[in-house]
Amino acid sequence: SVGCGVYTSSWVAPKSDVHSQQRFFYMGTNGEINVDQAHRGCTVGQDGKPFASVNPLFMKYTPTNGYFSGQSAYGVKSFENFIDACAACNNGTKKPDDFDDGSIATVHTTFQGTAILEAGRMSLDADGQPMDLIYESDTEMHPTEIKAHTF
């Protein structure tokens, strides 16, 4: 299969409704994915299936019967899970690396995303010079180096 990707990064933007536009769009032969992280939205369209918003409710800002009712929204759940993990580490029932399974964000689970952001920052500092993430092997998930791309 052959594909083409265009990646852009910039911290220079006019005033808008969000601090930074964070978007991802994928168009495939049988469907598309459109992620708008700044507005907490993710939609998927596939041939033969109805258009869907697959993003869970980040936060429920409106009360139910006059009371806060956002306890099950993932914006609240993510904080609850983090606090529970801290308590488990503090009382000795868990170790920090027990959470590298993706149940909460850790250095291990966010390493790739952080490397991509750092490569973007390095590219901006170098007047748009493309950067390469270097891995020890094709199966390694953590980059070992970020260096300027040579053409």
Q: Strands, DSSP E only, in the chain?
A: 23-27, 31-36, 41-46, 52-53, 131-134, 145-148
Q: 120: closest CA among 42, 22, 47?
A: 22
- Tell me the one-letter amino acid at 87: A
Q: Are 82 and 90 in contact (CB under 8 A)?
A: no
Q: Is residue 141 classed exposed, middle or buried when 0-12, 13-18 and 19+ CB atoms within 10 A define those classes?
A: exposed
Residue 40 tokens, joined:
């907490």
Q: pLDDT tens digits, residue range 62-75?
A: 788 998 887 877 77
Check whether 38 has a pLDDT greater than 80: no
Over range 120-147, report the average pLDDT. 92
Position with higher pLDDT, 90 vs 42: 90
- Band (89; pLDDT cuts 50, 70, 90): very high
Give backbone dihedrals phi and psi of 53, rounded to 5 degrees, phi first: -100, 110
DSSP helix/strand/coil, 134: strand
Residue 63 has a pLDDT of 83
What's the pLDDT score for residue 32?
84
The pLDDT confidence band at residue 51, using thresholds 50, 70 and 90, is confident
Amino acid, res. 123 = S
Name, in order, each residue with C-beta under 8 angstroms of 75's C-beta and a sequence gap of 6 or more.
58, 59
Confidence grade of residue 59 (pLDDT, cut at 50, 70, 90): low
